[in-house]
Amino acid sequence: MNTKNSSNLALISIVSLVFFLAAWEIYCRMGFIEPLFMPAPSKILSRAIKMLNNWSLLGHTLASTRRVMVGFIVSSLVAIPFGIFLGSSRFFMAVFDPFISLLRPLPSMSWIPLSLLWLGITETQKYSIVFMGSFVPSLLYIIEATKNIDPLLIRAARNLGASEVDVMREVILPGALPQIIAGLKVMLGIAWTCVISAELVAAREGLGFMIMNGKEYFQTDTVLLGMVMISVTVMITDLVFRKFEKRLLPWTL
């Protein structure tokens, strides 16, 4: 029954999308929408085929994906242990809280001038923007996930003779991991906004560069194609993340 309902809902979603695209195409062909401002889906598809034939679309997509994944993975590898450490210690949380509070409001765009000054127009600069844009929010998710562990479970483990390492491995980490994974999934989407911001300002390839280049030459179909590719790539990475989550957290299924 659940499978049947899921299939029906998927069919409804597909029909809804097809209806929207058909209406968009018809309105464009009837002249109700100016092509310069909103080209028809067929024009966007034609641009996609042209860019696929010369491999430029794949190149831009892979460049942005690489930057996102490198920056996001490095950010997560630093934020997870540091966040669990701060969430488990009131003293060190008090020490680092002023710095976290100062960094938290800063958007990724605010780091671009400094990163260009320090690193130039390099791949490392793009990675740093993704890192700085996603590190502090990820850290906050992980700290809160660690704090939400029931203290009774921690005390019970200690009373049974568990060491601090055992408590961390057997109680805190398994308990916090579902929330940590949920937070990182959100941060993966934010990492994409970070890299697009960096590519819009200083890049020679990538989906952000492709969008800005399309704008400069009044190629609205290229701009919209870049936006579509961002959404498609995020959906694909999210599906991969869900597969990883199912393997890592089988007890949550």
On the question of pLDDT at 163 being above 80, the answer is no
On the question of pLDDT at 48 being above 90, the answer is yes
For 120, phi then psi, to 5°, come to 75, -175
**How far is 8 from 63, CA to CA, in rounded Å?**
37
Distance in angstroms between the alpha carbons of the first and the last residue of the chain: 18
How many CA atoms lie within 13 Å of 60's alpha carbon, on the beta-carbon side? 30
pLDDT value for 127: 93
| Closest CA relative to residue 126, chosen from 108, 138, 140, 106 | 108
The gap from C-alpha 223 to its chain's centroid, in whole angstroms, comes to 20
The mean pLDDT of 189-204, rounded to a whole number, is: 86
Entry pTM: 0.85
Split at pLDDT 50, 70, 90, the class of 253 is low
Q: Phi/psi class of residue 36: alpha, beta or left (left: φ > 0; alpha: ψ in -120 to 50)?
A: alpha
Distances (CA, A) of 137 to 55, 125, 143, 179: 35, 20, 10, 13
The mean pLDDT of 27-41, rounded to a whole number, is: 88
Weakest mean pLDDT among 85-94, 156-165, 205-214, 229-238: 156-165
Structure tokens at 220: 């609205």
Weakest mean pLDDT among 35-44, 94-103, 177-186: 177-186
pLDDT value for 204: 86
- In percent, the amount of the chain with pLDDT more than 70 equals 96
The mean pLDDT of 107-112, rounded to a whole number, is: 86
On the question of pLDDT at 1 being above 70, the answer is no
On the question of pLDDT at 33 being above 90, the answer is no
On the question of pLDDT at 135 being above 90, the answer is yes
Distances (CA, A) of 94 to 34, 87, 97, 245: 57, 10, 5, 32
How many CA atoms lie within 13 Å of 68's alpha carbon, on the beta-carbon side? 28
Structure tokens at 22: 């058909």
pLDDT value for 74: 95
The mean pLDDT of 60-85, rounded to a whole number, is: 94
